[in-house]
Amino acid sequence: MNRIVVGLCCVFVMGVASAAANSGVVMIAEADVSAQGTATILADVDAQVQSNARTQAAAGATAGITADASATPALAARIRGLESSFRCLVCQNETIADSTADLAADLRMIIHEQVQQGATDVQIRDYMVTRYGDFVLYDPPFKTLTWALWLGPFVLLALGLGMFAGIVLQRRKMRPPPLTDLQQQRARRLLGNP
């Protein structure tokens, strides 16, 4: 019984570890800059809020510019799809389509203009990646830096299942130790068969 519990624990730990591996990759990518300190985050956000306030005051509504009357529904859907495939660098957990950040509004505008000018999705993707790196993509490419991100969870799952199977098989092979004469006598007595 104990071994099963331990085995299940291992599988659980593997699961958690695979989730950690996801952030681990990001960590590797950031390792070279992580030493720069964390004290400035709030200040940055603060500045961005300021900037938002300013832009909205200056330029009126900047969000939703993609709902331009000149765009056909198909084109609007394509623009929307593109916007949803990029991460907003300022709020990081939002797509460019969802974000209200100033920079996201600018990038929506750029996507919009490029689509109108006939740029392909690949060209727009390249435009973003040259400027902001793979981090801007919600669907990161499979390459040396990201292989752990893609494969890590499966490797860990396989490892956990393998260990679990090993423990179960081992348990199945186990035979109870033979009873001593005294135990056999006692067993017979208890079974009412002296």
- Give the binding site for another protein (CB under 8 A): 2-3, 6, 9-10, 13-14, 16-17, 20-21, 23-24, 26-27, 29-30, 32-34, 36-38, 40-41, 43-44, 46-48, 50-51, 54-55, 89-90, 92, 102-103, 106-107, 110, 129-133, 135
Min dist CB 193 to another protein, Å, is 38
Of 107 and 115, which has the nearer Cβ to another protein?
Answer: 107
- What is the Cα–Cα distance from 41 to 164, expressed in whole angstroms? 43
Number of DSSP helices (H) and strands (E) in the chain, helices first = 7, 0
Instruction: Give the burial string for 80-107 (b: 16+ CB within 10 Å, else e).
Output: bebbebbbbbbbeeebbbebebbbbbeb
Output the furthest CA–CA distance in the chain (Å, rounded): 100
Of 68 and 106, which has the nearer Cβ to another protein?
Answer: 106
Of 40 and 184, which has the nearer Cβ to another protein?
Answer: 40
Among residues 58, 138, 136, 51, the alpha carbon closest in space to that of 100 is found at 51
Min dist CB 3 to another protein, Å, is 7
Residue type, 68: D
Min dist CB 50 to another protein, Å, is 5
Of 64 and 166, which has the nearer Cβ to another protein?
Answer: 166
